[in-house]
Chain A
Amino acid sequence: MTVASQVKQCVASLKNVEASLNSFAIDTKDEQASEIFRESCQITRQVITDLEKRVGELEFQEPQYKGF
């Protein structure tokens, strides 16, 4: 597996995490817990944005592996 595809996989997993955190933030009745989920969700989103940038760089370097 190339580096790019590994990073992409990680991004996909992180997106899964973000979605789950988001749904927990909505479903959780306790406000404090819900707030923690929301914050975590935001942090995860930032990480995803930066990683996607890195995926772009990697694709630029290894254009033969472009796309999933």
Chain B
Amino acid sequence: MQGWLEVVLRSVVAIIILLFLSRTFIRKSMAQVTYFEFVSGIVIGAILAIGSIHLQVPIAYPIMGLIVWSVIPYALGWLSIKSETIRSFVQGKGVPVIKDGKILEDNLKKERYSSDELLKQLRAKNAFQVADVEFAVLETSGDLSVLMKKEAQPVTPKDMKLKVAPIKEPETVIMDGKIMDEPLATAGKNRRWLEMELEKIGAAIENVYLGQVDSYGQLTVDLFDDKLKVPSPQEKPLLYATIKKCQADLELFALSTNNPQAKQMYTQKAAKMKEVMNKVEHLLQ
């Protein structure tokens, strides 16, 4: 066989093997890969490269090397899922470098981590002041995971004891001016509904770049023409305002009637509507 033809043949086979291997290996981003996995990846790459152009090497050698270098890391990965001991041996464990707000210098030294590097990593996690950090772990991938002190953390609705409306994932029902039927069905809507909603907004379907339905069944769109203003959904605030108005009306009736029986009835109903108001407030605002 001619040399160049063999290179082509070997390269094609190598590419197929590479594709197959990278598909079977676990879905991890480069940042999550441990040093061991990273290096075995490089070795596999090198074997494939040498195997595809180094014609003096018999074809069996790179294949044998490939088998060993892919089977053993794969087996170790599989075993480390099954066993905790193997996992901590193969992947290592995160090392705490800040605990109770104090830097653990011994651990830093053991990991050969300089104070500059620590500060750099902390800054990457938005912790410019070491005093704001309660706990930090140096992960096996070399990333630093940081737990800020509670007072340095952003406020969440839970901290404020606020009730917020739960949300689910929105469905994208219009893309590039085309209706997506499947997400539309998932959202429990149909084309007729979509056309009606678009008419309400006053937008033509061809002019819609993206349209999404939120978990409350409301449509929001982005138009190709950015000069056009799209009204935001008004149904929820409007409903809340109407409930409020009705409640106020009932209280007014209660005040203005002279009939004691009716007065009592109105007061009672006003209280009921107040209850409804409180119930739905966080959902509608």
**Tally of contact residues, A, Cβ under 8 A:** 32
Interface of A is mostly: helix
Tell me whether A7 and B253 are in contact in the complex, defined as CB-CB below 8 angstroms, given that A20-B239, A29-B168 are known contacts: yes
Query: Cβ of A43 and Cβ of B276 under 8 Å apart?
Result: yes
Query: Cβ of A39 and Cβ of B279 under 8 Å apart?
Result: yes
Among B195-245, those with CB < 8 Å from A are 215-218, 235-236, 239, 242-243, 245
* The residue from A20, A30, A54 contacting B166, defined by CB atoms under 8 A apart: A30
Tell me whether A30 and B215 are in contact in the complex, defined as CB-CB below 8 angstroms, given that A7-B253, A50-B265 are known contacts: yes
Tell me whether A33 and B262 are in contact in the complex, defined as CB-CB below 8 angstroms, given that A17-B243, A46-B272, A50-B269 are known contacts: no
What are the interface flags for B256-285 relative to A under an 8 Å C-beta threshold, 1 for contact and 0 otherwise?
110000100110010011011001100100
Chain B interface (Cβ < 8 Å from any Cβ of A): 165-168, 188, 215-218, 235-236, 239, 242-243, 245-246, 249-250, 253, 256-257, 262, 265-266, 269, 272-273, 275-276, 279-280, 283
Known: A3-B253, A37-B280. 15 other contacts (CB 8 A): A6-B253, A14-B246, A20-B242, A24-B239, A27-B218, A28-B217, A33-B166, A36-B279, A36-B280, A37-B283, A40-B276, A44-B273, A44-B276, A47-B273, A57-B262
